[in-house]
Amino acid sequence: MPPNLTKPNSGFTSKPSPLCTFVSLIILLIIGFYTLHYPPGNPKKVLLFQQIFLSSASNSTIASYLRSLTSHPHLAGTKPSLETIHYVKTHFQNLGLETHTVPFQTLLSYPVHASVSMHFGNSTVLNLPLNEMGIPSYPSSGLIQPYHAFSPSGTVHGKVVFANHGREDDYRTLGLMGVNVNGCIVIIRKGGSLSRGAVVKIAEKKGALGVLMYAEGDVSKGSFGSGVERGTVMEGVGDPLTPGWGADEDGERLKLEDKKVLERFPGIPSLPLPFESAQLILDSLEGPLAPQEWRDSGRSNLSHVGSGLVMVNFTYQGEKKLATIYNVVAVIRGLEEPDRYVLMGNHRDAWTYGAVDPNSGTATLLDIARRYALLMRKGWNPRRTIIFCSWDAEEFGMIGSTEWVEQNLVNLGAKAVAYLNVDCAVQGPGFFAGATPQLDNLIFEVTKKVQDQDSEVVATIYEKWKTMNGNNIQRLSGVDSDFAPFLQHAGVPSVDIYYGRDFPVYHTAFDSFNWMINNADPFFWRHVAVAGVWGLLGLHLADDPVLPLDYLSYAKQLQEYKDAFSRVLDGNISLTPLAASIQEFTSAAKQASEETKKLMEQEFTNDLLALKIRALNDRLMLAERGFLDTDGIKGREWFKHLVSVFFSKIAVRTEVLHTGMAM
């Protein structure tokens, strides 16, 4: 980690000189620095390094990385995870990169005991299996039993009601059928776009005693059995004991019983179930017939919604405890602008083996680092500093990345150019991308340079992507990966890319190296494609003299958000001030675009040109910070990016206006 990335720079420490002399000295230093170090890059040389990067791809190398990373389970905060930390750190060090481990002490959650049993009217009891079938015994394999992290401990006994996906609409449907879940256990199938935590919170509000949750999966897509989907039910991101500041070992932290901490956790227990165990409960339900839509929309054999004569006893015991997690950070220092950071990150921890989630991304990141090191041996040095970030404890709620961002917030706010995230690099076929809008055109440009290995004829990712979904770039409005703290809290332009929309072994013990080579990417060519896009994005952002950030795309997106918002309001509130602001933003974006063209057309550098490029780059880099609200979103103050958490949701979920929720 760059020394000044841990603590903010304190400024000049020498004895102050008279103001005029001081200002003159600074100007001379800046001009001298850029005269020596900031000539516009040689386009042919830049292109050569990009070609070398692409040609040095190795699918077998990425496969070897993934095999090593997934040789055993490595849940954050456990002893087996230390081996994975060492593997990643050693890889960076062997490449000659400046490498650090950054520890944090955070609150994590682990299971102690769980059981679910069905109690029939004839006094017979059926204990339901809770683990995956066909998996070696859990102690010997190193697997931790399926559970929901941060679920409260408890024992509940009651009748069961099926609540579909656990959405507000689903409970309204039950109400119209005369079914009340108050005092019952609800069983829910995953889906419907809600997080686990939101599902449990809603059930708690409806008076449910506890929640049993199952994923239907799809054996036809290559699952070796019905997996059990682990996950967190904590609300928000980051360590709950240190909201807003880094979780240093000796730092200040809230008490576990603090109200702000308890608000992050549900008040009723929850547990994931294997599909087969869930089906046994569903078969026992009586009461009204399930709506036809519910019966037709999944793999479950469903007739009634409940309740029936069968009672279910459900016990979960867990422990919340402080555990040390480790981020691994490696640095390639920029030659001309070492104080400008291009960050490339992926989390390393996994619920089980984590072949897809997240180590397909980790293996890809390690390969990009290998190829960048090769470029350095051939004479390449980036203009700006590149930082590789291997995050820990993402699965518990983006904890590792959030704590690091909070710890380095001042420096990131002043110096971060962009954050490029890849979580599950390869889930299956088809390229997908999410980004803040000023990075759209760069993504298009890069995907035109990388071949798509899924095409029967030679084609670029851009061409295949266009036929698949029209080159649609999603917006990063959620908090489902490590881009969240960079964008939502620090206002850093961000990207998230991956291959494949879904995969049936998500968060299960079947997410293994064998599943990857038999289903998602047998020859690792999709990994190579992701590495190509991810690595070229990093090269452009680190090397282009003028940052490739196009705010005309952002202006267009803001206009679309405003139009969608206007349709929701239906003319009841004037949006004239908002429209005027967007128009002003559009004018500034056009001016920046024209300025970029003029600066790049100049063939020879001089002192003034160097200063103009630096000034323009600063404006381009810092513009995203302008969407941050210092006080944060009301009721969710940690989330500060107004556009990301509000307007983008208006475009896809108009009910935001009615629920009052900003996410």
pLDDT tens readout for residues 69-120: 999 999 999 999 999 999 999 999 999 999 999 999 999 999 999 999 999 9
pLDDT at 649: 57
Q: Residue type at 201?
A: K
Q: DSSP code of 509?
A: T
Q: Residues 175, 302: contact at Cβ < 8 Å?
A: no
- Neighbouring-strand partners of residue 329: 100, 389
Q: Output 19 or 458, whichever has higher pLDDT.
A: 458
Q: Residues 362, 330: contact at Cβ < 8 Å?
A: no
Preceding peptide of 307 cis, ω within 30°: yes
pLDDT at 1: 46
pLDDT in tens, 239-272: 999 999 999 999 999 999 999 999 999 999 999 9
pLDDT in tens, 467-481: 887 889 999 988 889
pLDDT in tens, 320-343: 999 999 999 999 999 999 999 999
How far, in whole angstroms, is CA 509 from its chain's centroid? Answer: 21
Q: DSSP H helical segments within 267-419, as ranges?
A: 275-284, 292-296, 359-377, 399-407, 409-415
Helix, strand or coil, per DSSP, at residue 68: helix
- Taking residues 496-514, report their average pLDDT: 94
| Angle at alpha carbon of residue 259, lines to 255 and 263, rounded to 5° | 110
Q: Would the pLDDT of 605 be above 80?
A: no
The backbone region for 310, taken as left when phi is positive above 0, alpha when psi lies in -120 to 50, beta otherwise, is beta
87 — phi, psi (to 5°)?
-60, -45
Residues with active-site annotation: 394
Q: What is the dihedral of CA 192, 196, 197, 202, to 10 degrees?
A: 50
> Rounded to a whole number, what is the distance in angstroms from the first to the last CA of the chain?
33
Q: Residue type at 205?
A: K
Q: Would the pLDDT of 221 be above 50?
A: no
Structural domains of the chain sorted by starting position, each given as residue range(s) with its CATH number in brackets: 45-106+322-543 (3.40.630.10), 109-318 (3.50.30.30), 552-660 (1.20.930.40)
